Amino acid sequence: MLKDGFLAAVARARAALIADAGRLWGVDLSSARWIGSTDDSWLATEDPGLPDFAYDGLLWVGPRPAEGTRADTAIDWAGRRWAIVALPMRGDPVRTLIHECWHAHGEPSLFPGVGAEMAIGGGDLLDRADGRLWLRLECAALARGSLVDAAAFRRRRRDVASAAEWRRECGLELVEGLAEYTAWRLSGADSAMVGEYVGALPLDGSLVRSFMYRTVPAYGFLLDDAVPDWRRNVVIARDLGAVLPSSRRAEEIAESYGFGHIHAEERARDKDREIALAETRRRFAGPLLRIRPGSLSIDFNPQRVRLLDEGTVYEGLGWRIADGAALRVEGEALVTVDWREIHVPLDTGDSDAMPRSGGGWSLTLPVDWRINRDERGWLVEPPASF
């Protein structure tokens, strides 16, 4: 059943890409290759040329590599570029396949190097009232179909952001946002569907790493009608803002979008957030399991992300590499700003032996990994020859 659903979605996605024939972006994505990933297997749409992968009449099936992620992403593997989707797929499967195909084949051609800008540390603006307020108004304007008003609220959001935070947000718009726009556009969605989607902005989770999945498709559909050559111009400028219209000051129109009500909601949320953050900081100030993995590629939920000065806290995180070392965290884990370490709070630092599991987390290590105890808890590193 899992395989049948994957194959059906691949057929529909492939048909959509063939029908587009590269017209949307000037990049033909119809020869894309995908991998459907389960906990223990990979299902490839093209022969990877590896001895442990066999053709079953429909797909090339083999064991999931030890370093193979379960996350939706793009990778270089078996000498080629692939889009990976986790099975079963979440949301609309055709959109998911096209989104990851864009990462594999569109983004590298049109926006090389932009992905690095997403990792810039800039703060937690979109988890605080000052940032969420203008983002919520922006989404409300997009849901109404007002490109001019949405652009005004986006500029106001820029005004309250630090330079580093704004580079991070713009990078996310280009990399993740345009992938999502492409997926909505080529899967046959219409402007009403996209408007409804951006209007249903989820408010119970973090928007730090998820806002662009809503805003950019909506901007794209409105720009398709208002500025037909916007895609070519955004590739040149590498900035969505460069193709948006000028507008009035955001404060002049904010009240018509419910400014007072939203402002009050976000101020109240900030108080609860500060209490939760204080508890998170307390836990990460105590005994820690610190993994210095050498190779750091993780899967996570973009709606469960928060930024601290020390790094990014993920509620739910997975990491694994080729030699079998793996970490699965259901609770909170922190990735340091320099992406050198993963931190997991320990219930106690007094044990004579390093724990391999705890409240909501588990760690698998090959025997040759180095384990050392220090004043912060336990430090785990790969063998010196790694």
Report yes or no: 363 and 326 within 8 Å, Cβ to Cβ: yes
DSSP 90: P
pLDDT of 300 strictly over 90: no
Give strand pairing partners of 37.
42, 86
Q: Average pLDDT of 13-40? A: 94
Q: How far apart are CA 107 and CA 332, in angstroms?
A: 31
Strand ordering across the sheet containing 80-86: 54-55, 60-63, 41-44, 34-37, 80-86, 73-77
Q: Which helix (H) or strand (E) holds 34?
A: strand 34-37
> Distance between CA atoms of 311 and 113, rounded to whole angstroms?
22
The rounded mean pLDDT for the chain is: 91
Do 240 and 291 reside in the same domain of the chain?
no
Reply yes or no on whether the pLDDT at 18 is more than 90. yes
Residues 91, 137: one domain? no
Q: Which amino acid is at 118?
A: M
265 within a domain of the structure (yes/no) = yes
DSSP code string of 309-340? TTEEEEEEEEEE-TTS-EEEEEEEEEEETTS-
Name the nearest CA neighbour of 239 among 90, 114, 106: 114
Out of 158-162, 200-204, 344-348, pick the least confident.
Answer: 344-348
The tens digit of pLDDT for each residue in 269-286 reads 999 999 988 999 999 999
Query: Domain for residue 317, yes or no?
Result: yes
Question: Average pLDDT of 7-28?
Answer: 96
| Cα torsion 77, 80, 86, 88: sign | negative
Are both 148 and 261 inside the same structural domain?
A: yes
Above 90 in pLDDT, residue 34? yes
pLDDT at 114: 81
Residue 386 maps to a domain: no
Q: Does residue 11 sit in the same domain as residue 129? A: no
Alpha-carbon distance of 70 to 85, in angstroms, equals 7
Asked if residue 90 and residue 132 are part of one domain, the reply reads no
For the record, the structure tokens of 35 come out as 């991998």
Residues 161 and 123 in one domain: yes
Q: Provide the pLDDT for residue 197.
A: 97
Helix (H) or strand (E) holding 377: strand 377-381
Higher pLDDT, 204 or 132: 132
Structure tokens at 178: 């345009």
Cβ atoms 218, 141 nearer than 8 A: no
Q: For residue 240, give both structure tokens.
A: 């969505």
Q: Which of 54, 83, 110 is the last residue of a domain?
A: 110
Specify whether 310 is located in the same domain as 344: yes
Which of 68, 94, 110 marks a domain boundary? 110
User: pTM of this prediction?
Assistant: 0.88
Residue 352, pLDDT > 80, answer: no
The answer on pLDDT for 52 being more than 70 is yes
Distance between CA atoms of residues 330 and 308, nearest Å: 19
Residue 51 lies in a domain: yes
Report pLDDT for 270. Answer: 93
Same-domain pairing of 35 and 149 = no
Q: What mean pLDDT is predicted for residues 326-344?
A: 92
* 348/315 same-domain check: yes
Q: What are the φ/ψ torsions at residue 312 (nearest 5 degrees)?
A: -105, 130
Q: 246 and 169 in one domain?
A: yes
- Residue 228 domain-assigned? yes
pLDDT in tens, 209-238: 999 999 999 999 999 999 989 999 999 999
Pair 221, 301 in one domain: no
Question: Residue 299 — very low, low, confident or very high, per pLDDT cuts 50/70/90?
Answer: confident
Specify whether 164 is located in the same domain as 65. no
Give pLDDT tens digits for 104-146. 999 999 998 887 666 666 678 999 999 999 999 999 999 999 9
Judging by beta carbons within 10 Å of its beta carbon (0-12, 13-18, 19+), is residue 228 exposed, middle or buried? exposed
Q: What's the domain count of the chain? A: 3
Domain membership of residue 190 (yes or no) is yes
pLDDT at 259: 96
In a domain, 221, yes or no: yes
Residue 125 counted as domain residue: yes
Q: Report the candidate in 293, 333, 327, 328 with the shortest Cα–Cα distance to residue 313.
A: 333
Give the domain range for residue 54.
Answer: 2-110
Taking only the tens place, the pLDDT of each residue in 152-169 is 999 999 999 999 899 999
The residue among 269, 304, 338 that closes a domain is 269
